[in-house]
């Protein structure tokens, strides 16, 4: 008797998809452009980003490479671990102007003191 196939939780798929979409947009790529880089069609990229389907580990590696990030960077968004959340904040900060980076740091310090 074969064990029942287990699926990734919907929340995991959705968060991973959002992470892929966020990184794609930061790289100023369209879904069609990313699809061409990872050799799938644009609908497949859309399904990944919406959490409808999951890329294989090998495909996730190709996606991460096309987005110039590590697989861990994409997966960090699915985790509640403080170290993974810090990685996400670092990504966000990289896309901000210097004054906005300072504002984000000031806000984090205020929250810590609260």
- Residues 30, 53 share a domain: yes
Is 13 within the bounds of a domain? Answer: yes
Q: Give yes or no: residues 48 and 94 share one domain.
A: no
For residues 19 and 53, membership in a common domain is answered with yes
The number of domains in the chain is: 2
pTM assigned to the model? 0.71
Mean pLDDT of 55-63: 96
- Residue-number span of the structural domain to which 86 is assigned: 80-114
Nearest to residue 75, comparing CAs of 55, 94, 92? Answer: 55
**CB 46, CB 31: distance < 8 Å:** yes
Q: Is residue 2 part of a domain?
A: no
Q: Is there a domain that residue 34 lies in?
A: yes
Q: Is the pLDDT reported for residue 4 higher than 70?
A: no
| 3-state DSSP of the chain | CCCCCCCCCHHHHHHHHHHHHHHHHHCCCCHHHHHHHHCCCHHHHHHHHHCCCCCCHHHHHHHHHHCCCCHHHHHHHHCCCHHHHHHHHHHHHHCCCHHHHHHHHHHHHHHHHC
> Is the domain of 25 the same as that of 69?
yes
45 & 56 share domain: yes
CATH code of residue 74: 1.10.260.40
Token readout for 68 is 């110039």
Q: For the segment 66-98, what is each residue's pLDDT rounded down to a tens digit?
A: 999 999 889 987 887 888 778 778 878 888 899
The whole-number pLDDT of residue 90 equals 84
The answer to whether residues 36 and 89 belong to one domain is no
At 74, list the tokens: 């994409």
């Amino acid at each position: 008797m074969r064990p029942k196939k287990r699926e990734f939780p919907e929340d995991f798929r959705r968060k991973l998809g959002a992470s892929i979409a966020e990184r794609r947009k930061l790289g100023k790529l369209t879904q069609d452009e990313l699809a061409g880089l990872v050799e799938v069609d644009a609908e497949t990229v859309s399904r990944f980003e919406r959490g409808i389907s999951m890329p294989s580990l090998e495909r996730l590696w190709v996606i991460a490479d096309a987005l110039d990030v590590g697989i861990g960077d994409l997966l960090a968004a699915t985790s509640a671990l403080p170290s993974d959340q810090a990685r996400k904040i670092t990504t966000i900060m990289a896309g901000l102007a210097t004054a906005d980076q300072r504002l984000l740091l000031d806000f984090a310090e205020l929250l810590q003191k609260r």
